[in-house]
Chains A and B, each alone.
Chain A
Amino acid sequence: MGTASLTIALAGNPNSGKTTIFNNITGARQHVGNYPGVTVERREGVCRYQGKNLLLVDLPGTYSLTAYSLDEIVARNFIVEEKPDIIVNVLDAANLERNLYLAVQLLELERPVALALNMTDTAEKVGIRINDKVLSQKLGVPVVRTVGNRNKGTKELLQAAVAASSVQYRSFRIDYGADVEAKIQILYQELETVPDNKYPKRWLAVKLLENDKVVNEKVAALVGGQRVLTLAEQCRSELAAGSGDDAETIIADRRYRYVADVFNAAVSKSMNVENFSDKIDKVLTNRVLGLPIFFSLMWLLFNLVFTVGAYPQGWIEDGISWLGDWIGAYMADGELKSLIVDGIIGGVGGVVVFLPNIVLLFLGIAILEDSGYMARAAFVMDRAMRFAGLHGKSFIPMLMGFGCGVPAIMGTRTLENPRDRMVTILVAPLMSCSARLPVYTLLIAAFFAEEVAGTVLFSVYLLGILLAVLMALIFRNTLFKGDSEPFVMELPPYHLPTLRSVLMHMWERSVIYLKKMGSIILAASILIWFLTNYPAEVEYSKNYEELRTQAEAAFTENVAKDVYAPLGAKILAENLEDLPELKAIAAEIAAINTEFDEKTADLAEGSAELAALEADKENRLKKLEADNEKLYPLAARYVELQGEFEGAQKKLDYEQAAEKLEKSYAGRIGHGIAILTQPLGFDWKIGIALMTGLAAKEVVVSTLGTIYSIGEADETSTALKEALAADPTLDPLVALTLMAFTLIYAPCLAAMAAVKRETNSWKWAAFTMVYSTGLAWVVSFVIYQGGRALGY
């Protein structure tokens, strides 16, 4: 974007409507990145105005410009270091006094400023009248009235901004009072002797008096800076001694006094009514109703994201599998087909399948944020979440964690404080996501009686919640130690969210997800595909081809002996095609059997419905037998032999697939880590399943299907349940340990890609993987060894 002829920085308080104005100006021509090295988002957009290319940078919303908050440091560094041609400061007209406090600090940075007096309609409704001429005159900058959510005043604002950028900067100074001004003068003069200083000197002097740690560091790096710092120290203590409060407070106080003077001159309040927003608030954060309303809204949000989201997810899954089949049908079996169908299409599917959740979550979050309820949610939940060292707003990501870790981690974006965000990101995956449920269901069905199934499942979820609380407390007191962040938070007025802003928000998150995370997830899926499918040629313990040929020969021989021979020498049948009558009967028997199997697949043993269907099947077969007395027994025998043959073939296929997986790279790793998994009661088979579970936790089930030679299996597969139950290395204790391990260990690759994206660092993604797997091992070890010691 080097062609921009003007750079405009957009600054303002949170909730001032800054982003709406940014969207009004730039439309869709914007993009979101990060400021170098930090997680603060940098939103940029371009627009053409009067033949000029304008580059707009939306600075983080802040209340002040101190060195205590990363957002504030980023905003002021941008202004001081990148020197935008003009700063447009968006002010909430209904809340002007506090908004002006930031405005004067921006003016102190000695860059041209234009003020956008936003939401003037709301202000007038509550009886606040602002004389913008007086405001403009007092501060020496242009003031433009805007109504962002109705796109009013946008043109006028651009015009004023472009005009102001070419006007010579008019000096602005706050009179801090004789005592402070004397000190500013001393420091100013000292700073004049310092070479290579690119910062405004009066601003530096004020910041030094405020004991701003970032400015202190910057000054210390200058030649002669140490001298200035010593002097500043002396000035600060003299000021403190003279007034009984620290210099920083005195300065902030005087600044607010200056703001109050400007405010009182420019604003008249005609009435002091309880506004509409306060009336809504009385209900929504009511002592009695507040929590029920909060939980109802959370329930709605959860269902919106996961229950409603399940429909488009189903369509996407169907679409992806259709695409795989369609392409697969046009390709010869082989490595390329496997790469494209299982690796790439499967991988893309794994990316796109989360999209409905993300779109819907951010729809919900945008509505909650824009309406003003999000801050109330934090207000209502803060007391409870603080117990775990988390913030009130952490609740939403944690709740989303029960659905899927990816939207949960992306949802931490609503937390402004980086420490709260990091802790929430690290513990949100401990909320048991829906992809882990099939693993629990399978293991519980295989190893636990129906009466305790619910309790076991509940315990696993509870374990996740307890560990999340425990880990949050640990992280809070180790990695993210320090003063607890102040919960001094604005509760913005309620208003109706605009469709445009909600849609923009949704769109932006979805694009970020697909672009930034999609590529990581896709690459990781292909890696997992490679590990489980290669090496392509393995040395099998048996000659499967020969076994297949043998099975086929046996089948042909038996058919000749049991079916064709009894028909007598007069028919020299070589195959069924020569015997159309017999073939028709055999086909009918097979059809009846298939229909019965399909209908009864989901029926419980001993149910009335099953008995009825069984009787029906018998009757149909008897009728067929009565109609074809002679040929029926032969046809039945043929169907039986064919079933046996197909079963034998399938068994060989499954055995071969299992052996291939065992000898794949993933399998070798599974064997290799057996030394680590043995103390948990897991053999190499579980090791492989857990490793493939990194792609997505539900994959653990299908891998178990392959490795136990069952073929394709899901959590309802009876054959897999039986195979697991029959494995002597598995018992209820191991199953429980495995459930705990599945719950805790490294989140799936998609979730780790989300961690990378949201923390802007591979280091934290790697840390998440290592810490959670370590924790999983320790917890599983305690469960397994403890259980064994107790005699289970």
Chain B
Amino acid sequence: MKTLDQLKPGETGVVSKVQGKGPVKRRIIDMGVVAGTPVRVLKLAPLGDPMEVKIKGFNLSLRKAEATLIEIE
């Protein structure tokens, strides 16, 4: 199974499920990362983490640890 952190800058995927629980999961979902939403990785920060993605027309940054919770189809 592929997760968001495995996508390289420039690659696109569609969110299939968000793992995890509690505030982290809810925050990810509240920011629009829900099943069926396309997401494109824009870049990684200079130190390799966090990453920046485009979703629902805006730019979102999240740590790789959080990106592993997001399943991509």
- List residues of A whose CB falls within 8 A of some B CB: 63-64, 66, 68-69, 94-95, 97-98, 101, 128, 245-246, 248-249, 252-253, 256-257, 277-278, 281-282, 285-288, 290-291, 375, 378-380, 382-384, 483, 485-493
Q: State whether B23 touches A483 (Cβ < 8 A).
A: yes
Docked CA distance A634–B8 (Å): 93
Could you tell me if A66 and B43 are in contact, using CB atoms closer than 8 angstroms? no
Chain A nearest CB, measured from B70 CB (Å)? 10
Shortest C-beta distance, A568 to chain B (Å), equals: 89
On chain A, the residues within 8 Å of B46 by CB distance are 285-288, 290-291, 380
Taking a contact as CB atoms under 8 Å apart, the answer to whether B23 and A490 are in contact is no
* 12 extra A-B contacts, CB within 8 A, seeds A256-B32, A487-B62, A488-B27: A98-B56, A249-B29, A252-B34, A278-B59, A291-B47, A378-B61, A379-B52, A382-B49, A483-B24, A490-B58, A490-B59, A491-B60
Task: For the complex formed, measure the closest distance between the CB of B15 and the CB atoms of chain A, giving whole angstroms.
Answer: 10
In angstroms, how far is the closest chain A Cβ from the Cβ of B9? 9
Which of A252, A278, A378 is the most central at the interface, judged by chain B CB atoms within 10 Å of its CB?
A252
Q: Which of the residues A63, A94, A288, A487 comes within 8 Å of B30, measured between beta carbons?
A: A63
Q: Is the CB of A382 within 8 A of B28?
A: no
CB distance from A177 to the nearest CB of B (A): 14
A491 near B59 with CB under 8 A, answer yes
The interface residues of chain B lying within 8 Å CB-to-CB of A288 are 46
Min CB distance, B52 to chain A, in Å? 6
If the complex has contacts A97-B32, A379-B52, A379-B61, are A249 and B27 also in contact, measured as CB distance less than 8 A? Answer: no
Contacts of A286 in B (CB 8 A): 46
User: Which of the residues A98, A277, A383 comes within 8 Å of B31, measured between beta carbons?
Assistant: A98
Q: Is the interface of B mostly helix, strand, loop or mixed?
A: mixed
Query: From residue B25, how far is it (CB to closest CB) to chain A in Å?
Result: 7
The reply to whether the CB of B44 lies closer than 8 angstroms to some CB of chain A is yes
The residues in B between 9 and 41 inclusive whose CB is less than 8 angstroms from any CB of A are: 17-18, 21-32, 34-35
Nearest-CB residue, chain A, relative to B17: A245
Q: A380-B46, A486-B27 are in contact. Are A491 and B52 (CB under 8 A)?
A: yes
Which A residues are CB-close (under 8 A) to B27? Answer: 68, 486, 488
Sampled A-B contacts (19; CB under 8 Å): A63-B30, A64-B26, A66-B26, A68-B27, A94-B57, A98-B56, A101-B32, A249-B18, A253-B34, A278-B59, A288-B46, A291-B47, A375-B61, A378-B61, A383-B50, A486-B62, A488-B27, A488-B31, A491-B61
Contact of B56 with A97 in the complex, beta carbons under 8 Å: yes
CA of A173 to CA of B45 in the docked complex: distance in angstroms?
A: 41
Q: How far is the CA of A246 from the CA of B20 in the complex (A)?
A: 10
A63/B31 in contact, CB under 8 A: yes
A491 to B50, CA, bound (A): 12
Task: Kindly report which residue of chain A lies nearest to residue B60, judged by CB atoms.
Answer: A490
Bound together, the chains give a CA A488 to CA B39 distance in angstroms of 14
Q: How far is the CA of A375 from the CA of B23 in the complex (A)?
A: 20
Q: How far is the CA of A217 from the CA of B44 in the complex (A)?
A: 41
B52–A383 CB distance below 8 A: no
Q: Complex Cα distance A493/B54, Å? A: 12
CB-CB under 8 A from A285, the residues of chain B are 43, 45-46, 52
Q: Which residues from chain B contact A64 at a C-beta distance below 8 Å?
A: 26, 30
Residues of B within 8 Å of A94, CB to CB, are: 57
Q: How far is the CB of B22 from chain A (nearest CB, A)?
A: 7
Nearest CB of chain B from residue A108's CB, rounded to whole Å = 14
Contact at A256–B34, with CB atoms within 8 Å?
yes
Bound-state Cα–Cα, A68 to B49, Å: 24
CB distance from A387 to the nearest CB of B (A): 10
- Distance from A105 Cβ to chain B, minimum over Cβ atoms (Å): 10
Nearest A residue (CB) for B32: A98
CB-CB under 8 A from A246, the residues of chain B are 21
One of B24, B43, B60 near A489 (C-beta < 8 A) = B60
CA distance A488 to B34 in the complex (A): 14
Q: A68-B23, A383-B50, A483-B22 are in contact. Are A488 and B45 (CB under 8 A)?
A: no
CB neighbours (8 Å) of B45 from chain A are 285, 290, 379-380, 382-383
Nearest residue (CB) in B for A293 is B46
Asked, given contacts A253-B35, A375-B61, whether A487 binds B56 with beta carbons under 8 Å apart, the answer is no
* Residue in A closest to B37 when the chains form the complex, CB atoms: A256
B63 at the A/B interface (Cβ < 8 Å)? Answer: yes
Q: How far is the CA of A378 from the CA of B21 in the complex (A)?
A: 25
List the A side residues contacting B57 at CB < 8 Å: 94-95, 97, 128
* B7 beta carbon closer than 8 Å to chain A: no
B50 touches A487 (CB 8 A): yes
A768 to B2 CA separation, bound complex (whole angstroms): 46
B68 CB, nearest partner CB in chain A, Å: 13
User: Is B5 interfacial (CB-CB < 8 Å)?
Assistant: no
Chain B nearest Cβ from A497, distance in angstroms: 19
Closest to B67 in A: A488
* Beta-carbon contact of B44 and A488 below 8 Å: no
Pair B42/A278 contact, Cβ less than 8 Å: yes
A46 to B52, CA, bound (A): 40
A383 vs B49: C-alpha distance in the bound complex, in angstroms? 6
Name the contact of B61 in the complex, choosing from A68, A287, A485, A489 (C-beta under 8 A). A489
Q: Complex: how many Å from CA A194 to CA B27? A: 32
Closest A residue, CB atoms, query B63? A487
Q: How far is the CA of A488 from the CA of B50 in the complex (A)?
A: 9
A407 to chain B, nearest CB (A): 26
How far apart are the CA atoms of A490 and B29 in the complex, in Å?
Answer: 13
A252 touches B23 (CB 8 A): no
Q: Give the chain B neighbours of A486 by CB distance below 8 A.
A: 23-24, 27-28, 62-63, 66
Cα A380 to Cα B61 in complex, Å, equals: 10
Q: A94-B57, A95-B57, A489-B61 are in contact. Are A66 and B30 (CB under 8 A)?
A: yes
Q: Is the CB of B61 within 8 A of A487?
A: yes
